Structure formats: structure tokens, C-alpha cells
């Protein structure tokens, strides 16, 4: 890790008073590094009014790291979700290394993100992609805490989104509660399997098996899904089974 203040202090001290000056300058520079949380020349440039040093993909992973750490502890679901985002973006090996560094940087919570997000607001498609990725990270551990919701609401505001618009995105990623067997109507079951009341039993069986194969949790887990996605697949499988059982009993076939 590079400490720019320490190097500058040591260099300036040496120029003024040789080795003793270098030692004193390094100590003072180190105090500055720690106070301002400086870890690179880019951080130093940014702290003193330089241009943004984060690329859009790095900014995304800083945000994801901040969310993952916002409740105090990063869990495996957060890590898996970050990896899933890298795969979705088809990142090269070097880009993945930058993303991991940005994710860890985000966990520290030291970055001032308002300027970055204000600039990103000029790219509506990219801004929406960032917010969607943030909601996916929020639900990676199966719950959305108040601190996470507040962060996304604030970031959305800086991106030029209303609170209602930001919240509307959340519903796309919030885990759906499985239907209780007693709450499923016959029409619900037909819609879930994509069949009609006049469909032949063989057609209903094929629809059920096709959907079961598509949503089976073992298959989802094998594709590198997050723990949350596996849980959602498990709930979906349970709903399919409930729906199929209801239709089979109503139509009296095996």
C-alpha cells in the first residue's frame, strides 16, 4: 500500500534537513495519510480537488462494497453476488482485480460518492444499471436493512431519481414469498404452470416437469447463483409442486 503523504513528507524533510528532516517529515506525512485516509496518489489528487479517479465499473463495486458492509458484516452471499456481477459484465482478469480492489475500498466507507454519482446521472442507462446492481447486492443476504435502503435512496437522489423510482426497482429483486398451499386457487395454479382448464393431463405434466427442471435449486446452484437465488429457486419449486398437486387432484389424474 502506498502512503503519498509519508513520501512527500520524507522528501521535503530530506531537502530541508537531510536525514533527520526526512524522518520528521515522514512522521508528519504519515499522520496526514492516516487522518485523510490516503492510500494512493489518486486518493491524494482526489482529496485536494482533482478529477474523479474512479471509472464507472470501479464506482459500481465501491457502491457494492459499501452496501455489503453497511450492516457491519460482509457475508458469503455478498461475495457471491459481487462475483456474479463480474460475470455478468464479462470482466477481464485485470478488470476483476480492479473490481475487487474497488469493492474492498467501498467497505472502508471513506469515499465521497456524491460527485461521482452526479456525473453518472448524465448517463441514464448506466445510472439505472448501477441502482439495479445495488438492489441485487442488498438482497444477497436475504434481507434489506434500513441502512442499506437509506444508502440507495441517497445515491438515487444524487443520480437524479425520485424516491418512488428508486423503490420501484426494489420490487424486481425482493424475494417473493412462496404461496401457502391453502392460499393457492385453481386459477392461480393454472397460471403458474402456464396451462388452461382444458389442457390434457399429459400437457400439464410436461409443463410441470419443464418448469421444475428450469427452476430446480440444484441446477441453479450449479450455475454459480447466489445463496439468495438458490433460496428463491427452492421457493419457486415448492410453489410449482403445490400448483401441480392442486390441479392433479381437481382433474383426478396421476
Give 223-242 pLDDT, tens digit per residue: 766 766 777 778 888 888 88
C-alpha cell at 41: 496518489
Whose CA is closest to 124, among 161, 90, 169, 165? 161
C-alpha cell at 183: 392460499
145 Cβ contact partners less than 8 Å away, ≥ 6 residues apart: 70, 71
Look up the pTM and report it.
0.56
Do residues 120 and 127 touch, judged by C-beta distance below 8 A? yes
Longest dimension (CA), the chain: 96
Q: What is the pLDDT of residue 232?
A: 79
pLDDT confidence tier of residue 160, bands split at 50, 70 and 90: very high
pLDDT confidence tier of residue 191, bands split at 50, 70 and 90: confident
Write down the mean pLDDT value for the chain. Answer: 82
Amino acid at each position: 500500500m502506498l502512503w503519498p503523504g509519508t513520501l512527500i513528507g520524507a522528501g521535503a524533510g530530506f531537502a530541508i534537513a537531510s536525514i533527520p528532516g526526512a524522518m520528521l517529515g515522514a512522521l508528519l506525512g504519515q499522520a496526514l495519510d492516516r487522518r485523510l485516509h490516503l492510500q494512493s496518489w489518486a486518493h491524494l489528487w482526489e482529496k485536494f480537488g482533482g478529477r474523479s479517479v474512479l471509472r464507472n465499473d470501479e464506482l459500481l463495486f465501491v457502491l457494492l462494497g459499501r452496501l455489503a458492509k453497511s450492516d457491519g458484516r460482509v457475508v458469503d452471499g455478498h461475495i457471491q453476488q459481487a462475483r456474479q456481477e463480474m460475470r455478468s459484465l464479462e470482466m477481464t482478469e485485470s478488470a476483476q482485480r480492479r473490481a475487487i480492489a474497488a469493492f474492498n475500498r467501498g467497505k472502508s466507507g471513506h469515499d465521497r460518492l456524491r460527485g461521482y454519482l452526479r456525473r453518472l446521472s448524465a448517463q441514464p442507462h448506466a445510472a439505472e444499471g448501477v441502482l439495479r446492481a445495488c438492489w441485487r447486492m442488498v438482497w444477497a443476504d436475504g434481507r434489506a436493512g434500513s441502512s442499506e435502503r437509506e444508502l440507495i435512496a441517497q445515491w438515487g437522489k444524487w443520480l437524479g431519481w425520485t424516491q418512488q423510482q428508486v423503490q420501484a426497482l426494489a420490487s424486481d429483486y425482493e424475494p417473493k414469498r412462496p404461496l401457502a398451499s391453502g392460499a393457492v386457487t385453481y386459477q392461480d395454479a393454472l397460471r403458474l404452470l402456464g396451462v388452461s382448464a382444458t389442457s390434457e393431463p399429459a400437457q400439464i405434466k410436461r409443463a410441470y416437469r419443464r418448469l421444475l427442471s428450469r427452476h430446480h435449486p440444484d441446477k441453479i446452484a450449479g450455475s454459480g447463483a447466489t445463496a439468495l437465488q438458490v433460496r428463491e429457486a427452492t421457493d419457486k419449486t415448492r410453489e410449482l409442486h403445490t400448483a401441480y398437486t392442486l390441479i392433479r387432484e381437481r382433474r383426478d389424474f396421476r
